[in-house]
Amino acid sequence: MTTPTYRGVLSAVEPFKGLVKRLSNNSGRNNQGRITVRHQGGGNKKLYRMVDFKQNKLNVPARVETIEYDPYRTAFIALIVYRDGERSYVLAHKNMKVGDEILVAETAELKEGNRLMLKNIPVGYFVYNVELNKGAGGVLTRSAGSYAQILAQENGWTNLKLSSGEVRKVKWDNFASLGQISNPEWSLANFGKAGRSRGMGIRPTVRGTAMNPVDHPYGGGEGRQPRGTRKPKTLWGKVTGGRKTRNKKKWSNKHIVKRRK
C-alpha cells in the first residue's frame, strides 16, 4: 500500500476559507539563514487549517459538515457547524461521517466524537486529543490512528495508557474526546518514490559512511568501511541509539506510572 484510503472517506470540497492561513516555510533555516535542521525544504504549497484543539464551546451541539485532508498532520480533520452557526475544524475520529452530531460537555453521552471530562469516562474507553492542563487544549494522542485507554480513576487523577505503552496520570477534570483518531492506515503507507518525499518537503539524507572524515564520525576510508566507533554517533559526535534522552529531573516524571517499552 502506497497511500491510505481517501476515496469514500473524504469530502470532495475546498478548505473553508475563514479557517485557513499561509505559513512561511523556513526550510530548516534560522534567522541568519543558516541550516539548523537538515533535510527540510521545498515541497508542495499548502495552507494551514486552524484546528480547534480546545473545543471549549460547552453544551452546544455541532454537526459534521465535511471530512477533509490536512497537509500539516497525519490524521483527517472535520469541519463542524455549531447550532449557533459558528464553524470550526476539529480532529476526526476513525468512524466519523458527514451528518454526525457531537457535543462538548462535562457529562456528555458516551458516544464517539463527544468531548467530556476524564472523570466521567468509564474505565476501558478509548480517548484522543487529551488535555494535560485544563483549558489549554488537547496535546496527547493527536496523530493518525492513535488513542489512549482509561485504566483507572483515583484521587483526582485518571490513569491513561498511551499508544507507546506508557501509563501516565492526568488530572481527571481535563477534557478528552471519545474514540480513536482517524486514518489508522497511515502507518502502513509506503512513499514508493523519492518524488513523494520531495513533495512533502523532505530533502535527501546522505549516509554518514559516504562522507569524508571531516564531515562525519563514520566518514573516510577506501571502499566500504565499518563504522569505526564503538557506539553509534550523530554527525556532531553525540552518542545516539540505546541512550535515554529524557531529562531525569523533568517535573512531570512523577506523573509517569509505567515507562513505555
Give the HSE-up count for residue 196: Cα atoms under 13 Å, Cβ half-sphere. Answer: 7
Query: Is there a contact between 144 and 180 (Cβ–Cβ < 8 Å)?
Result: no
Residue pLDDT, tens place only, 25-64: 889 999 999 999 999 999 999 999 999 999 999 999 999 9
Measuring CA to CA, which residue among 79, 74, 126 is closest to residue 99?
79
Same domain for 178 and 225?
no
Residue pLDDT, tens place only, 200-255: 999 999 999 999 999 999 999 999 999 988 889 999 999 888 888 889 999 999 99
Same domain for 145 and 219?
no
DSSP secondary-structure letter at 62?
Answer: E
Query: What CA–CA distances, in Å, run from 126 to 91, 93, 224, 241?
Result: 15, 11, 49, 32
Range of the domain at 235: 213-253
Number of domains, the chain: 2
| Phi/psi-derived region of residue 200, left when phi > 0, alpha when psi is between -120 and 50, beta in every other case | alpha
Same domain for 105 and 168?
yes
